[in-house]
Amino acid sequence: MIQQRICILTLGVGAGRLRASEAVQRALYYGNDSVEVKVVDALDSARPWFQRLYTNPHGWMLGNLGRLWQSVFGRGQRARPHSSAPAWFFRRGWREVLRQMKAYAPHLVIVTDMVTAEIAALGRRERWFHAPILAVQTGFETETPWVQDEIDAFCVASEAARAQLISCGVLPSRVLLCGIPVDPAFALPFDKDEVKQALGLDLRRPVILAMGRGTGPMPLDRVVSSLELCNAPMQVLAVAGHDRVLHGRLELLRGRLAMDLRLFGWTENMPELMAVSDLLIVKAGGLTAAEALSAGLPMVLTRPLSGPEEGHVRYLSQKGVALYAETLNDIPRLASRLLSSPDELRELQRRSREWSRPDAAYAVAQVATALLEKATYIDLLTKPPQRSGESAYLM
């Protein structure tokens, strides 16, 4: 049997897009031995000067110059540009990525990041490859550079993102409401007490899961410190990811704070950590929020970075699945309120599951399969679900 090659092109700035890409990869392989799926992190093949130029100023601006980034982002959105940088800049910085795609000769390209959408569009426009392109968004709102003539179909996470794309000129038939692709394990019915025992946690005391960066408006170590002001005994699970400096700062807090604090670096056990938690304190990243929705885990959202995360805060707050902490002092106040109000906490859990789409990766895989079969997308899918809570399967 001839295998059809699928390239999932992502950008490894942060782990969210990579996790979404891997969820789609697993869904494509499920029950299908006729495809070969390759996940490519574009940054791994970018020229070193381009990596530094692209990632370092972006991170520095986000972490230290929020107002400047807000100005740049806001001006760009108002001007409605369809590119985040000139074509020559992409052509020179991502040339090795384009060469790899030409050598791989994919039958389908899936992009999970705005920048990789631009790379793929440039690649097809300049004939580095000829495959259809499927754009899979990992946020609840969209940005105008996603809109490229070469993209055949879009899988989006919300009605708002769909409306934004349509307002930018994308045909409604090419925008499908699928949800953000997450590992289905987040929706599994774990035995909470059993997992707590495995982690050495007290069965009687509530558990707060805290995630975040070491920079930005509310660094994770300051968020964790603020929880000492809560008026109830609790257990705090703090996840620092790959940030060793942040992990070191959190380690210094142990023994100083009057709480049971457990530290985690990068871990594959996030479904279990969410399953045992009563509350998640996190910045408004799209992928993590989608995982929490699948787990039915209520959220307290910390002050976002200027840009797309502000839209995520609005979306999640409006859906009634999260509370917003504008200041550090709001965090212990909101956490105490929820942990002492079982009815409010249960209502947040119910709404989280109602708005979740744990099978989104499989919905994306169905769109991808349709594109492989038809080469271009022309109304070959049935009408997508109109309400969250309906199955995301499209056929």
Q: Among 148, 114, 143, which Cα is nearest to 132's?
A: 148
Tens-binned pLDDT, residue by residue, of the chain (395 aa): 568 999 999 987 667 788 999 999 999 999 888 899 999 998 887 777 666 665 554 444 443 433 443 444 444 444 445 666 677 777 778 889 999 999 999 999 999 999 899 999 999 999 999 999 999 999 999 988 999 999 999 999 999 999 999 999 999 999 999 999 999 999 999 999 999 999 999 999 999 999 988 777 788 999 999 999 997 889 999 999 888 899 899 998 987 888 899 999 989 999 999 999 999 999 999 999 999 999 999 999 999 877 778 999 999 999 999 999 999 999 999 999 999 999 999 999 999 999 999 999 999 999 999 998 875 554 444 444 444 444 444 44
CATH 3.40.50.2000 domain position(s) in the chain: 4-182+359-374, 188-354
Please tell me the predicted confidence (pLDDT) of residue 43. Answer: 84
**CA-to-CA distance for 111 and 134, rounded, in angstroms?**
6
Please tell me the predicted confidence (pLDDT) of residue 80. Answer: 46
CA of residue 21 relative to chain centroid, distance: 10
Per DSSP, helices labelled H in the chain are: 16-29, 42-45, 48-64, 66-79, 87-93, 95-104, 114-125, 159-167, 192-198, 220-226, 244-253, 270-276, 286-295, 308-318, 330-339, 342-354, 360-374
Please tell me the predicted confidence (pLDDT) of residue 375. Answer: 56
The helix (H) or strand (E) run that includes residue 41 is strand 35-41
Please tell me the predicted confidence (pLDDT) of residue 289. Answer: 96
Please tell me the predicted confidence (pLDDT) of residue 73. Answer: 44
CATH number of 188-354: 3.40.50.2000
Cβ atoms 322, 349 nearer than 8 A? no
pTM, full prediction: 0.86
**Which residue type is seen at 143?**
E
Fold of 4-182+359-374: Rossmann fold (3.40.50)
Residue with tokens 């440039």: 122
